Amino acid sequence: MAYQVTARKWRPRRFDQVVGQEHITTTLKNALLSGRIAQCYLFCGSRGVGKTTTARILAKALNCARRTGADPCDECSSCRSIAEGTSMDVLEIDGASNNSVNDVRELREVVRYAPTEGSHKIYIIDEVHMLSMPAFNALLKTLEEPPLHVVFVFATTEVQQVPETILSRCQRFNFRRIPAGQIARHLQAIAQAEGIAAEEEALFLLAGRADGSLRDAESLFDQVVSFDQERVSSAGVHQVLGLVDRGAHFELIGALAAAEASRVLDLIGAVIDEGGEIEEFTQGLVEHLRHLLFAKVQGGAGALDVAEADRARYEQLAGLFAEEDLLRMMRAVLDLAGELPHSLQPRFRAELVLVRLARMGRAVEVGQLLARLKALEPGPGGGGGGAAPARSGTSPPAAPARPAGQSILPPRKSAAEPAQPVPQAQPAPPPAGGELSLGRVEADWEGLVQEVRRSQPPLGIFLQGAALAGLEGRVLRLSFAPEDSFACKQVEKNREVVEALCVQRWGQPLRLNCALREGAPPRQEARQADPTLKSVLDAFDGELV
């Protein structure tokens, strides 16, 4: 017998042999059993997922003389002629080469004739989106009221190009991409039937390369079998298809986790020396990071559609990163993959991005940063302010030293603590007998400003332009001239520093309330009221001039 490629030799002949499309085959089987046959079906989906194959099985089932259930017998003369492509009752039409209005007119003429052998005449139009708009219009009436013995089956990979008037006359079935696990199991069954030893990892490599297309996976399987007719190995798949070894991606992730930039460069050089392409390596790294992120978010790699041997490695590596780190790495590598086709130096570009990832700081939880800030705050529970408190069993531990390859973003100086505990002047004693008065604050205000200038000179300069507008309880109101709006914002943003020094100087906590004095020019007030302009000023800490 002449050689047949795997995609033709192992083409499904019954509904239950169609891989990964159970939602469609179950619906069609129920329709056949109940006799609810539509006048037109539309099968849409990506390439190699079973659209034309399912159409042929449906055609055989409609005309099978010995069918007992929903599946055709595949033995009668009608089934054999349809499988061989010689049936007069089943016509397969290529929409790309028969797309004119004259071709549709001829079709309208022949649909009136009764079937010669079976009970139905089935017209399968592949790539129906290639028909011209006049051809679609000429087909509308026939689709709406066809003869009772006629069934149309349209197949397309570009359903968005089919007019809505055609879609409304069809039963639409969306074929899904086939998961890699199902493709790998199907290839394993073919290999066993053919007497070929196959590694699980190699079959998953073929399935991943096929990108959801079973026909593509079977074609790649044939190519690898031609290389080695006795065994399908991962090494053979890498060699024949030019794939980058998955182990290089595992090693690269380990180097990124250890912040070893030199090792990252060595791995890229080894991939290039072995004949790998940077684009192929980057695409594999994107898939690798996706698996790591999945394992991190799900708390395990049990649901990953990969070989069993890889799941444990993904779980181990996922534990080395935070979710935020993996998201940043994924974003950087996706940007790299989009830039490489247009880059003059793809290797240098890849090295630059990956070295930056190796040197990037690790994400730190907000709770940890707040705990460190709390430890630096002045007061009974913090370590900031004057002299360092004596250590005790209940005192908060010192912040841990930064590990190699990690960087912690420093807390904003406006958050809680001065840059250094630098109040050089001795704090004044608390006011005797009651609340702090505005007169006392006014008398000692200049000393407070000078103390702020010694610890944070820019903030002291901004504070010097403020005027005391009043003291209401524990709220100290400051007013600024209309032209000093930037200084007002900076003092408001860093008011925690000033409030901490107020406690040290006057012995009572005060809260600052900063506002502009009335009297701004009308035009400037109108500009400041513009919400768009205000958002820009807030984002860049700007001021109007």
Please write the tens of the pLDDT for every residue from 224-268: 999 988 889 988 888 888 888 788 888 898 888 888 888 999 999
- Percent residues over pLDDT 90 in the chain: 25
* DSSP for 229-262, written as a single string: SSEE-HHHHHHHHTPPPHHHHHHHHHHHHTT-HH
> Would you place residue 390 in the very low, low, confident or very high pLDDT band (cuts 50, 70, 90)?
very low
CATH dotted code for 180-241: 1.10.8.60
More reliable by pLDDT, 24 or 388: 24
The number of residues making up the chain comes to 545
- Do 32 and 70 form a contact (C-beta atoms < 8 A)? yes
Reply yes or no on whether the pLDDT at 544 is more than 80: no
Across the chain, what does the average pLDDT equal?
A: 81
More reliable by pLDDT, 404 or 498: 498
More reliable by pLDDT, 411 or 334: 334
Q: How many CA atoms lie within 13 A of 539 on its CB side?
A: 6
> Would you place residue 403 in the very low, low, confident or very high pLDDT band (cuts 50, 70, 90)?
very low
- Do 256 and 262 form a contact (C-beta atoms < 8 A)? no
More reliable by pLDDT, 190 or 426: 190
Reply yes or no on whether the pLDDT at 168 is more than 60: yes
Helices H, strands E: what count in the chain? 24, 10
Name residue 470's beta-bridge partners. 477
- Percent residues over pLDDT 70 in the chain: 81
Domains 6-174 and 246-359 share a fold: no
DSSP 8-state code for residue 91:
E
CA-based end-to-end distance of the chain: 88
CATH number belonging to the domain at 6-174, selected among 1.20.1600.10, 3.40.50.300, 1.10.3720.10, 3.90.700.10: 3.40.50.300
Question: pLDDT value at position 440?
Answer: 83
Q: List all residues 6 or more positions away from 43 whose beta carbon is below 8 Å from its beta carbon.
A: 24, 51, 52, 54, 55, 153, 154, 155, 156, 173, 175
Q: List all residues 6 or more positions away from 54 whose beta carbon is below 8 Å from its beta carbon.
A: 15, 18, 21, 24, 25, 28, 43, 175
Using N-to-C axis directions, what is the helix angle for 200-210 and 308-318, rounded to 10°?
Answer: 80
**pLDDT single digits (tens) 258-285:** 888 889 999 999 888 888 888 888 988 9
**pLDDT single digits (tens) 11-43:** 999 999 999 999 999 999 999 999 899 999 999
Strands 171-174 vs 40-44: parallel, antiparallel or unpaired? parallel
Name residue 484's beta-bridge partners. none
Measured in degrees and rounded to the nearest 5, phi and psi for residue 184 equal -60, -40
Residues 49-64: what's their mean pLDDT?
A: 92
Residues 73-79: what's their mean pLDDT?
A: 88
Name the strand (E) or helix (H) holding 457. helix 457-464
If one counts every other C-beta atom within 10 angstroms of the C-beta of residue 538, the result is 10
**pLDDT single digits (tens) 146-164:** 888 999 999 999 999 999 9
Reply yes or no on whether the pLDDT at 186 is more than 90: yes
**pLDDT single digits (tens) 422-471:** 444 444 444 544 567 888 888 888 888 888 888 888 788 888 888 888 88
Reply yes or no on whether the pLDDT at 383 is more than 70: no
Cα gap 165→490, rounded to integer Å: 63
**pLDDT single digits (tens) 109-142:** 888 888 888 889 999 999 999 999 999 988 888 8
Structural domain boundaries of the chain?
6-174, 180-241, 246-359, 438-540
> Would you place residue 374 in the very low, low, confident or very high pLDDT band (cuts 50, 70, 90)?
low
CATH dotted code for 438-540: 3.30.300.180
Question: pLDDT value at position 30?
Answer: 94
Amino acid at 381: G
pTM above threshold 0.75? no
Residues 202-210: what's their mean pLDDT?
A: 89
Specify burial of residue 452 (Cβ count, 10 A radius: 0-12, 13-18, 19+): buried
Angle (CA) 380-385-389 rounded to 5° is: 55
Fold entry, domain 246-359:
Zinc Finger, Delta Prime; domain 3 (1.20.272)
Specify burial of residue 510 (Cβ count, 10 A radius: 0-12, 13-18, 19+): buried
Residue at token pair 């003429």? 109
- Do 465 and 481 form a contact (C-beta atoms < 8 A)? yes
Question: pLDDT value at position 372?
Answer: 65
